[in-house]
């Protein structure tokens, strides 16, 4: 068995003036410059990097100030370029401290590709963590040398400090009533002005349970395959745009033409079969052209590119909100969203996706309606009634969702144009649960109020 070297055995304990501690702390200025330059050349990087990097992660004080100014512009939905950044730094009295316009121009003129930013971020965060570890070690040394500290307390203090380093994003500040009450009362005043706020649904009994889809909520709609998830989402979306709410739809399953077929069948009142066989009557064409004119005035965005990650969806939503406003988002559907980053198993992937969508809803202050599949085993069960736990890979989705709506199965073998079923509010974090009778209009592929309730 090897023995410790004589040098190690004879070395004296480390002290705060040890030469090793007088070296420059771990840092990589090239990686920091590459990140800042990449953002100046491709602002959309901030939609991902803005939540990954803090100003404190940068070693250079100038880089910290530049990143802080970039984040301030990004959070207030302003463009980030040489002109706006220089203006923001000038207003803060920091332009000279960061090297002036010349240094900003040097950053923007970097030849390093913004596509490499994930690698640069990993380097900068690793350096920041190493500096935090050194800082923790020095504080532990101070405590160890301090006779006022009981040695028995040392282990607990060291554990708390190491936990803070490992968590990497520990917020020790919190907020006092002076800080959080003014924004809260402003929120209540805005809520009163809007008559309760949120985006209502077209179903009065459902509104009686949940009132509306509120900003920051993640609403999950679950159903068996071919049991109306997309039809219900489009019913909600058409009602929202009809009330003037800017609406975004992410269709990861259907292409834009398929989606528009459904929307025109529902909105123009043209039978869905006509969009399959192409046998349009003159009246059908008249309805289609009329609906085209109505749709051109609608505050609606449709995104039908497949395999979009949560960070891509978030970036698009931020752009839409900046360009024309955004009140509600629909995503079809959860299991088709690839995760950001790599995960060990599918459960972790779904957990990451679910959490990202919930954080997006909170960050953008809009309700996000996320469609989700239910487990296939449901069809083999004696009772066809869906429950919350039937959501496929559901653990994280159940936890993150503020509202879970389940479309109960119904007999689809009949030939009637109007068929009846229920929407079950299986979970509602801030309101009531219950069943809502609805009618499915098979001819026009939409859900309607159950007239039998009147």
**Catalytic residues, which ones?**
253
Distance, in Å, from the CA atom of 442 to the CA atom of 436, rounded to the nearest integer, reads 19
Distance CA 218, CA 210 (A): 13
Rounded to whole angstroms, the Cα distance separating 400 from 359 reads 9
- Inter-residue contact 296 to 289 (CB < 8 Å): no
Q: Token pair for residue 451?
A: 């007239």
3-state secondary structure of 165: helix
Tokens (6 digits) for 188? 């209540």
Taking a C-beta distance cutoff of 8 angstroms, is the pair 444, 266 a contact? yes
Largest CA distance in the chain: 98
Residues 6+ apart with CB under 8 A from 17: none
Torsion-angle region of 174 (φ positive above 0: left; ψ -120 to 50: alpha; else: beta): left
Q: What 8-state DSSP symbol labels residue 2?
A: P
DSSP 213: B
Q: Is 234 helix (H, G, I), strand (E, B) or coil?
A: helix
Q: How far apart are CA 85 and CA 80, in angstroms?
A: 6
**CA gap 31, 107 in Å, rounded:** 11
């Amino acid at each position: 068995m090897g023995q410790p070297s004589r040098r190690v055995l004879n070395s004296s304990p480390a002290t705060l003036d040890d030469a090793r501690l007088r070296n420059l702390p771990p840092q990589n200025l090239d990686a920091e410059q590459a990140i800042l330059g990449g953002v100046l050349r491709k602002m959309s990087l901030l939609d991902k990097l803005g939540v990954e990097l803090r100003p404190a992660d940068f070693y250079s004080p100038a880089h910290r100030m530049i990143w802080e100014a970039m984040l301030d512009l990004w959070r207030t939905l302003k463009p980030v370029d040489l002109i706006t950044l220089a203006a923001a730094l000038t207003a803060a009295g920091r332009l000279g401290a960061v090297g002036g316009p010349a240094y900003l121009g040097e950053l923007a003129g970097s030849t390093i590709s913004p596509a490499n930013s994930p690698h640069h971020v990993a380097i900068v965060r690793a350096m920041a963590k190493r500096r935090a570890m050194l800082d923790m070690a020095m504080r532990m040394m101070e405590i160890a040398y301090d006779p006022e500290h009981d040695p028995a307390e040392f282990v607990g203090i060291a554990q708390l400090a190491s936990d803070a380093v490992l968590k990497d994003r520990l917020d020790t500040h919190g907020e006092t009533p002076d800080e959080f009450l003014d924004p809260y009362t402003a929120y209540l005043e805005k809520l009163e002005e809007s008559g309760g706020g949120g985006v209502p649904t077209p179903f009065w009994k459902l509104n009686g349970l949940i009132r509306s889809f509120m900003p920051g909520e993640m609403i999950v709609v679950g159903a068996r395959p071919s049991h109306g998830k997309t039809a219900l989402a489009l019913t909600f979306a058409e009602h929202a745009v009809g009330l003037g709410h800017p609406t975004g739809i992410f269709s990861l399953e259907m292409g834009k033409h398929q989606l528009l077929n459904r929307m025109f069948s529902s909105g123009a009142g043209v039978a869905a079969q006509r969009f399959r066989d192409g046998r349009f009557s003159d009246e059908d064409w008249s309805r289609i052209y009329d609906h085209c004119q109505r749709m051109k005035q609608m505050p609606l965005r449709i995104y039908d590119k497949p395999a979009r990650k949560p960070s891509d969806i978030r970036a698009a939503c931020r752009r839409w909100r900046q360009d024309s406003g955004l009140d509600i988002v629909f995503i079809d559907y959860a299991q088709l969203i690839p995760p950001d980053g790599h995960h060990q198993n599918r459960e972790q992937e779904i957990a990451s996706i679910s959490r990202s969508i919930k954080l997006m809803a909170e960050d953008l202050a809009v309700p996000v309606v996320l469609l989700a599949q239910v487990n296939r085993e449901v069809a083999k069960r004696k009772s066809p009634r869906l429950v919350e736990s039937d959501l496929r890979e559901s653990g994280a989705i159940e936890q993150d969702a503020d509202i879970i709506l389940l479309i109960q199965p119904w007999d689809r073998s009949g030939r009637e144009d109007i068929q009846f079923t229920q929407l079950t509010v299986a979970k509602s974090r801030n309101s009531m649960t219950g069943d809502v009778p609805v009618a499915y209009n098979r001819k026009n592929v939409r859900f309607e109020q159950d007239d039998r309730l009147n």
